[in-house]
């Protein structure tokens, strides 16, 4: 299996190297970021994306920001670190992983005494958050692969692999693990409008993993489901509310409803860092609204008249009743999600 040459995100001691996902699949360009503002704009600009990867990037951002602070007192250090954390938290609202990672970093900062020691502790914590995500995605992929049978044709949406997780992957991790178990599987990958994470990134990862796949447009999913050509749907998640309602890439809800109508199992794969028990239901999940240009343009080329009304919600919420199982590193759960998630 061909590996991504360098990890999609890596801590290099005093800077962070990321693979610029906006340039894929045409070019494999690595960027070295040495300040927290650069991390924040890489997250906003989707150079690094996917819920777990955003969490990892956010924690490295806090660590970089801490290194930049020259403070006369511990209070000043903490105040400035708070500002840095707020900038990073303001990048993307939906993925829980980002807020969880930043909270963890704040907690580490709060207990330190000496500023230089706190900076070191923050770097250690960010590296730990990263390695925990790697382990969690490996584990959940192993557990989820049990649901994939030999001969399955699996439909997946968006990109949920190494690129999106800075680890092994969530939905795509499950698919990769099933392939490593020598199961004869094939994948239908949706292109994932408007930003084409499926067409650009998932196909790039599937090709490298030697997994047979077919790229389809988002609107073709029902056609293939109704013809009996989909054995299961598996997607990742950006935030899972306490009742199991799940926010994921726009279009996921439509796939879930279609899957139910066609009697096809619908699986969600996510590390527990994506779960937000503080929200009772998906109604409370903040949904990111992105720039209309992403809809009116494809890779910089305009495809619509100027001055028209455009909507661009980046995520939608799939009610838990459409979800067959949620796969986490701590186990595979079913309804009643309210009790199982706790
Ligand atoms: O806008 P993106 O590309 O960050 O959206 C990513 C997704 O919606 C993924 O499905 C989700 O983060 C799960 S990835 C492990």
Q: Which tens digit of pLDDT belongs to each residue from 14-35? A: 999 999 999 999 999 999 999 9
Eight-state DSSP code of residue 135: H
In the reported structure, the alpha carbon of residue 148 is separated from the centroid of ligand 1 by a whole-number distance in angstroms of 21
- Say whether 238 is catalytic: yes
Q: Does domain 9-137 have CATH number 3.30.2130.10?
A: no
- Ligand 1 atom nearest the C-alpha of 235 is 10
Query: Using CA positions, which residue lies closest to atom 10 of ligand 1?
Result: 236
In the chain, ranges of CATH 1.20.120.420 domains:
9-137
- Ligand 1 atom nearest the C-alpha of 161 is 15
- Mutation test of ligand 1: which of 162, 248, 276 has the most ligand atoms closer than 8 Å to its C-beta? 248
- Ligand 1 atom nearest the C-alpha of 158 is 10
Per cent of the chain over pLDDT 70 is: 99
Residue 246 confidence class, pLDDT cut points 50, 70, 90: very high
User: Which candidate, 187, 127, 124, places its Cα nearest to that of 159?
Assistant: 187
- 96 CB near ligand 1 (under 6 Å): no
Q: Which tens digit of pLDDT belongs to each residue from 284-327? A: 999 999 999 999 999 899 999 999 999 999 999 999 999 999 99
In the chain, ranges of CATH 3.40.50.10470 domains:
139-340
Question: Which of 218, 238, 276, 316 does the annotation list as catalytic?
Answer: 238
Sequence-distant (6+) residues with CB within 8 A of 89 are 58, 98, 99, 102
- 167 CB near ligand 1 (under 6 Å): no
Q: Which tens digit of pLDDT belongs to each residue from 173-185? A: 999 999 999 999 9
Res. 332: pLDDT tops 70: yes
Ordered DSSP codes for 164-227: HHSSS-SHHHHHHHHHHTT---EEEEE--TTTTHIIIIIHHHHHHTT--EEEE-GGGHHHHHHT
CATH H-level superfamily of 139-340: Translation initiation factor eif-2b; domain 2 (3.40.50.10470)
């Amino acid at each position: 299996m061909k590996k991504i040459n360098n990890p999609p995100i890596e801590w290099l001691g005093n800077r962070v190297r990321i693979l610029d996902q906006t340039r894929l699949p045409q070019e494999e360009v690595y960027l070295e970021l040495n300040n927290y503002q650069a991390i924040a704009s890489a997250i906003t600009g989707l150079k690094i994306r996917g819920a777990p990867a955003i969490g990892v990037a956010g924690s490295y951002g806090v660590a970089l920001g801490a290194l930049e602070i020259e403070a006369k007192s511990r209070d000043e250090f903490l105040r400035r670190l708070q500002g840095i954390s707020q900038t990073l938290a303001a990048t993307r609202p939906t993925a829980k992983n980002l807020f969880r990672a930043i909270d963890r970093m704040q907690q580490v900062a709060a207990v330190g005494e000496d500023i230089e020691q706190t900076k070191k502790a923050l770097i250690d914590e960010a590296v730990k958050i990263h390695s925990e995500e790697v382990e969690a995605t490996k584990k959940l992929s192993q557990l989820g692969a049990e649901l994939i049978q030999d001969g399955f044709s699996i439909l997946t949406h968006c990109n949920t692999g190494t690129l999106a997780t800075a680890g092994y992957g969530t939905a795509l991790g499950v698919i990769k693990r099933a392939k490593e178990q020598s199961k004869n599987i094939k994948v239908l990958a949706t292109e994932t409008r408007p930003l084409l994470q499926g067409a650009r990134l998932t196909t790039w990862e599937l090709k490298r993993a030697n997994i047979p796949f077919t790229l389809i447009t988002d609107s073709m999913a029902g056609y293939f489901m109704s013809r009996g050509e989909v054995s299961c749907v598996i997607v990742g998640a950006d935030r899972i509310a306490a009742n199991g309602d799940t926010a994921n890439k726009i279009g996921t809800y439509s796939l879930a409803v279609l899957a139910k109508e066609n009697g096809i199992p619908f699986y969600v794969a996510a590390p527990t860092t994506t779960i937000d028990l503080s929200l009772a239901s998906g109604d409370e999940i903040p949904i990111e609204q992105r720039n209309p240009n992403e809809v009116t343009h494809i890779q910089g080329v305009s495809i619509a008249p100027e001055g028209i009304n455009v909507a661009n919600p980046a995520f939608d919420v799939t009610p838990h009743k459409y979800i067959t199982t949620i796969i986490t590193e701590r186990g595979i759960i079913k309804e009643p999600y309210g009790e199982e998630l706790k």
